[in-house]
Amino acid sequence: MKKAEQVFAKDLSTIRTGRASPSLIEDMHVEYYGASTPMKHLATISVPEARLLTIQPWDPQSIKAIEKSFQQSDLGLTPTNDGTIIRLAIPALNEERRRELVKLVRKKSEDGRVVIRNIRRESLEKLRLMEKNKQISADEFHRAQDRLQKQTDTHIIEIDTLGNNKELEVMEV
């Protein structure tokens, strides 16, 4: 459950807000010499200003491939390059786009809660099997079931908190 929570938090970091953040693009894949390669393996990503990302590829030949991947992505960012560095200006979000991003955050939050519930269901099935095979007693089964529910509730609350914080960040002007 903790791992699912961490994956959810990482997933939220890829949602664009008004500020520039390397996590926005570092896992974006670029078609490089026939292989799909994450951006962070091809270039140095830095944030020189609050609304600007710079990408300096280690191989100057990869600039065209990186630009192409931005044009095909759904980030809505247009790259500019001077031959050695690609610059991405992060535009301010309009109200409509902010609302779309909040919907996306809510969908991802629900997906995170579903993952936690699926983990709970699988664990409960294992506990029932252990009780059926007489590996644990009925009392141990009920105690483990209560602990499992408490853990589930804790992680769902944490996912909700992360989602609400991201919503506030997206709606911040």
Confidence (pLDDT) at 93: 76
- Looking at residue 173, what is its pLDDT? 64
Domains and CATH numbers, the chain: 19-89 (3.30.1360.40), 95-171 (1.10.132.20)
Give pLDDT tens digits along the chain (173 positions). Answer: 899 999 898 888 777 676 777 877 888 888 888 888 888 888 898 988 878 889 999 988 888 888 888 888 777 778 888 888 999 888 777 888 888 888 989 999 999 999 999 999 999 999 999 999 999 999 999 999 999 999 999 999 999 999 999 988 888 76
DSSP three-state, residue 164: helix
For 106, counting Cβ atoms within 10 Å of its Cβ (0-12 exposed, 13-18 middle, 19+ buried), the class is middle
Beta bridge partners of 44: 56
Distance, CA of 116 to CA of 112 (rounded, Å): 6
Residue 28, SS3?
coil
pTM, rounded to two decimals? 0.68
Query: What per-residue confidence (pLDDT) applies to 159?
Result: 95
Tokens linked to 120: 């709970």
Q: Of 85, 15, 94, which Cα lies nearest the Cα of 53?
A: 85
Instruction: Locate all alpha helices (DSSP H) within the chain, ordered by sequence.
Output: 2-13, 63-72, 95-132, 138-171
Tokens matching residue 131: 């009780």
Per-residue tokens: 11: 């997933």
Helix (H, G, I), strand (E, B) or coil at 60: helix
Place of tokens 């949602």: 15
Q: How many CB atoms lie within 10 A of CB 23?
A: 13
Q: How many residues does the chain have?
A: 173
